[in-house]
Structure 1
Amino acid sequence: MHHDDLLPRDTPVSLIDANGAVVADERYALPDAETLLRAYQGLLEGRRINDQAYALVRQGRMAVYPSSHGQEACQVGAALVLGGRDWLFPTYRDSVAVIMRGVAPAHAMVLLKGDWHSGYDPAEHRVAPQSTPLATQLLHAVGFAQAAKRRGEDTVVLALCGDGATSEGDFHEALNFAAVFHVPVVFFVQNNEFAISVPLSRQTAAPSLAHKAIGYGMPGQRVDGNDVAAVLAVLGEAVQHARDGGGPSLIEAHTYRMQAHTNADDDTRYRERDEVKAWADRDPLIRMRTYLIEQGLLDDQAENRLTAGAESIASALRDALNADSDLDAEDLFRHVTAERSPQLEEQWQLLRGEIERATLTEAGGHR
């Protein structure tokens, strides 16, 4: 591959602009109407999930929620470009993508509620547990892709991360290994301009994060992360490139985190409201809705039906998180190893004794 083929474009790929108008592109084709309607449904559901989860945090029903409000086009695109045998390796901010891969919304929120496990079976949904430490999931993704390649499986791995993760050593190790061993993995960086309070200008001096790809010998590309059509086209090409034996790619989506990093963050301390307002005008949901209406693909009846579906998901999530958990203390020991060691068994017996004594004491106090 010639080095010119590795370089990303000077401006991100866009197929539908902020006003909902089509942008002609010589390389990337606009996805078909059915795909775009499915993507719009995902945007609606993702927005409602984000807002509902954020409300549940304020009500004390979740410990933390890193919202992807405004980044839903990246979430939807990541889920829709993967096939049934492919795997997604998400971050803590990718709950919408996890849900779109088939994980029940309530199960996707278990970890963020504060439980000890991810809430779903990774093998069933081909979705790795959501990763909180920055960039560690990239190494796991590369190892998984290498294993799939050695077994001769038709599997592509999509590894998600944010702009802050590109400053971690794990990012370098993952990309270098993937390129050297030519594994079927796509690195998808959602550049939302801030790693908590640290702006992109303090993360890199490169022209873009996608330009880092050439240093590893893999193609890089930039895409408008608020244009779900462009995300589908660019990510879809990268996934097919990996499936055809072309090796890894690095895709950078230019988007914006509209809400605070998490509920524990005060974003007014490090960014101006005018900046946030400017990005609100590029809302991925409004953009796709405008396009679909102008193309005659979406009417009020369809909009109401899709909105009702999104509300149903939010209602089910709300009911599930409002219900008290039925906890089994032995689960702390039951799933540590295939066979419980004598040391773990001793610890469990000690804890069980404490629980039984506490239960007897409480019962005595209520006589």
Structure 2
Amino acid sequence: MLKLASRLPDELVSRREIDAVVNCVAPLSASAALALIRASGRPNPAEPALLQQLGNMDACEKRLDDLGSLLGSQRWLLWANRQDAPLRQLDGLNRFLACHGLASVHLRDASKPLSVSNIGAIALPKPHRRNGARLSVVMTCYDCEPYVDAAIRSVLDQTHGNLELIAVDDASRDNTWKRLEIAAAADDRIRAFRLQHNVGTYAAKNVGLALAQGEFLAFQDADDWSCPERFSLCMDLLQRRPWLEAVSCEYVRLQDDGRFWSSLVWPLQRRTPNSVLFRRRVMTRLGFFDEHRFGSDGEFVARLQAAFGSRALYRLRQPLIVAARRDNSLMTAPSTGLDSLGRSQARADFQEAWTEQLLCRALAGESFHRSAQRGTPALIAEVCSSLR
């Protein structure tokens, strides 16, 4: 950073280079990132978010107006963060969604802040449940009682009708399993299973995949809310483009106080590998998830691209998921998540390890197939035996 700062202002320094350094510095020091932007003498879309991070709301509001076109649709998320009234927060989210051609949402309780558990889809036309290809949505759950009902509703409210929701409770300690039982009793599209011991989300995902019956497979986090168009948009792409094997989308993260948040400060809209939707035949070549406690969705997507080529995955730029930012999730817990500076040494170490493994497999011409690990076959047998 100091080396770059010493060269500014300099027209020979590209905007991309400045943006890359700002994105690295912002989680560590918003003031240092802001100083770098000002030294460059160029407008930067991260500036209002940095000002907001520093608590300089008047300056943030002014830059929101000044940089409107540069900020694009995300200006409405920053605008929503300036609001205290729930309906104003909702208005910001709906303006953001409208920029991406997505349907509006409503508050389930207008007296409470905008949050994942407090939003619902505006009713959209739904096809008959048997129309279209069969989609299996796997949702693993662990101590998600405040959010799981909203996550379930967002799957059942999809504009793609022919789906099943396979909910695997990973030995929750709260009332998550009771919520799943109630939901499954009310809608026959839900198949709920409970593991007797906590095995981690990726081992639980493998159980769900083994039980899935659909021609297409996708995932739903139990503390996320999916836009009603999410699965239709992804499946339409796969059905129109036979060379594609998978589609992913982007997301935004929302706190329970109605504020949108990113560990990297800016941008607020980001990619997420756990949004991947893929053809069943992908499993024939890839097998299951690595059952590491965290980060294995990134490994799965990288393995998919290594096996099928980069053109096999299409990344939709639309934000089709609103994710909860909650304490002690995989992304916030000290042992598995990002620290206060937006870094995670444990995640970096795991990513380095699986990247090296994939490279070695590719160079050796080995298969990218991964068998189920850590007793997953026994878990599957346990779940199946409970159904008899």
Question: Considering the TM-score relative to the shorter chain, is it more than 0.5?
Answer: no
* TM-score, normalising length: structure 1: 0.30
Structure with higher helix content: 1
Normalised by the length of structure 2, the TM-score is 0.29
